Chain A
Amino acid sequence: MNPTLAIAKREFRTFFSSPIAYIVLGGFLLVAGWLYFGTLFLAGQASMRAFFAIAPVLFVVFAPAVTMRSIAEERKSGTLELLLTMPLKDWEVVTGKFLAALGMVAVGLVWTLPYPFTVASLTAPGVAFDWGPVAAGYLGLLLMASSFLAMGLWASAMSRNQIVGFIVGLLLCFSFYFVDKFAILLPESIGQAVEYLSVDFHFENIARGVLDTRDLLFYGSLTAAGLVLTTRSLAAARQ
Chain B
Amino acid sequence: MIRIEGLSKSFGTTQALRGLSFEVSKGQVVGFLGPNGAGKSTTMKILAGFLVPTSGHAYVGERDVGVDTVATRRMIGYLPENNPLYEEMMVVDFLAFIAEVRQVPADLRAERIRVAVDRCGLKSVLGKDIGQLSKGFRQRVGLAQAILHDPEILILDEPTSGLDPNQIAEIRGLIKELGREKTVILSTHILSEVQSTCSRVLIINDGKLVADDAPERLTLGAEGGVITVVVGTRLGVGLDEAKVRQALAGVAGVTSVESADAEGPGTAGFKLRYGRDDPRRELFEAAVKNELVLLEVRRQHVSLEETFRKLTATDPSGPRAAA
A interface residues with partner B (beta carbon < 8 Å): 1, 3, 6-7, 10, 13-14, 17-18, 77-89, 238-239
Report the minimum CB–CB distance from B27 to chain A (whole Å).
Answer: 23
The residues of A that contact B70 with a CB separation of less than 8 Å are: 87-89
In the complex the two chains form, is A14's CB within 8 Å of B89's CB?
yes
Q: How far is the CA of A239 from the CA of B76 in the complex (A)?
A: 20
Q: Which of B46-54, B175-183, B216-224, B225-233 contacts A (4 or more CB under 8 A)?
A: B46-54
In the complex the two chains form, is B102's CB within 8 Å of A86's CB?
yes
Q: List 21 A-B contacts (CB under 8 A).
A: A3-B102, A3-B103, A6-B101, A10-B97, A14-B88, A14-B89, A17-B88, A81-B45, A81-B80, A82-B78, A84-B49, A84-B50, A85-B76, A85-B78, A85-B80, A86-B102, A87-B101, A88-B101, A238-B50, A238-B52, A239-B52
In the complex the two chains form, is B74's CB within 8 Å of A3's CB?
no
Q: How far is the CA of A98 from the CA of B86 in the complex (A)?
A: 19
Q: How far is the CA of A85 from the CA of B78 in the complex (A)?
A: 8
B 49-94 contacts with A by CB, 8 A: 49-52, 69-71, 73-74, 76, 78, 80, 82, 84-89, 93
Q: How far is the CA of A1 from the CA of B73 in the complex (A)?
A: 18
In the complex the two chains form, is A87's CB within 8 Å of B73's CB?
yes
In the complex the two chains form, is A6's CB within 8 Å of B85's CB?
no
The residues of A that contact B5 with a CB separation of less than 8 Å are: none
In the complex the two chains form, is A87's CB within 8 Å of B48's CB?
no
B100 within 8 A of A: yes
Report the minimum CB–CB distance from B60 to chain A (whole Å).
Answer: 12
In the complex the two chains form, is B85's CB within 8 Å of A82's CB?
yes
Report the minimum CB–CB distance from A169 to chain B (whole Å).
Answer: 22
> Among the interface residues B48, B69, B73, B100, which one has the most CB atoms of the partner chain A within 10 A?
B100
Tell me whether A82 and B84 are in contact in the complex, defined as CB-CB below 8 angstroms, given that A87-B103, A239-B52 are known contacts. Answer: yes
Give me 14 other A-B pairs in contact (C-beta within 8 A), A80-B84, A87-B71 excluded: A6-B97, A6-B100, A10-B86, A10-B89, A78-B80, A78-B82, A79-B84, A79-B86, A82-B78, A83-B101, A87-B73, A87-B101, A89-B69, A238-B50
Q: How far is the CA of A80 from the CA of B98 in the complex (A)?
A: 13
In the complex the two chains form, is B101's CB within 8 Å of A77's CB?
no
**Chain A residue nearest to B157 in the complex (CB):** A81
Query: How many of B's residues come within 8 Å of A, CB to CB?
Result: 30
In the complex the two chains form, is A82's CB within 8 Å of B80's CB?
yes
The residues of A that contact B85 with a CB separation of less than 8 Å are: 79, 82
Report the minimum CB–CB distance from B267 to chain A (whole Å).
Answer: 54
The residues of A that contact B52 with a CB separation of less than 8 Å are: 238-239
Q: How far is the CA of A81 from the CA of B45 in the complex (A)?
A: 9
* Residue in contact with A14 in the complex, picked from B73, B86, B101, B103, CB distance below 8 Å: B86
**Chain A residue nearest to B71 in the complex (CB):** A87
In the complex the two chains form, is A81's CB within 8 Å of B84's CB?
yes
Report the minimum CB–CB distance from A232 to chain B (whole Å).
Answer: 13
6 A-B pairs with the lowest CB-CB distances in the bound complex, closest first: A78-B84, A6-B100, A87-B73, A87-B74, A79-B84, A85-B48
* Residue in contact with A85 in the complex, picked from B49, B87, B89, B103, CB distance below 8 Å: B49
* Residue in contact with B100 in the complex, picked from A3, A78, A85, CB distance below 8 Å: A3
**Chain B residue nearest to A3 in the complex (CB):** B101
> Among the interface residues A3, A7, A80, A86, which one has the most CB atoms of the partner chain B within 10 A?
A86
Q: How far is the CA of A102 from the CA of B71 in the complex (A)?
A: 30
**Chain A residue nearest to B87 in the complex (CB):** A77
The residues of B that contact A238 with a CB separation of less than 8 Å are: 50-52
Q: How far is the CA of A6 from the CA of B48 in the complex (A)?
A: 21
In the complex the two chains form, is A85's CB within 8 Å of B97's CB?
no
The residues of B that contact A89 with a CB separation of less than 8 Å are: 69-70
**Chain B residue nearest to A79 in the complex (CB):** B84
Q: How far is the CA of A239 from the CA of B42 in the complex (A)?
A: 11
Report the minimum CB–CB distance from A20 to chain B (whole Å).
Answer: 11
B148-166 near A? 1/0 per residue, CB < 8 Å:
0000000000000000000
Q: How far is the CA of A218 from the CA of B51 in the complex (A)?
A: 35
Report the minimum CB–CB distance from B200 to chain A (whole Å).
Answer: 24
Tell me whether A85 and B50 are in contact in the complex, defined as CB-CB below 8 angstroms, given that A14-B86, A14-B89, A77-B84 are known contacts. Answer: yes
Q: How far is the CA of A239 from the CA of B66 in the complex (A)?
A: 12
The residues of B that contact A7 with a CB separation of less than 8 Å are: 101
The residues of B that contact A13 with a CB separation of less than 8 Å are: 93
The residues of A that contact B71 with a CB separation of less than 8 Å are: 87
Report the minimum CB–CB distance from B93 to chain A (whole Å).
Answer: 8
Q: How far is the CA of A45 from the CA of B107 in the complex (A)?
A: 57
The residues of A that contact B102 with a CB separation of less than 8 Å are: 3, 86-87
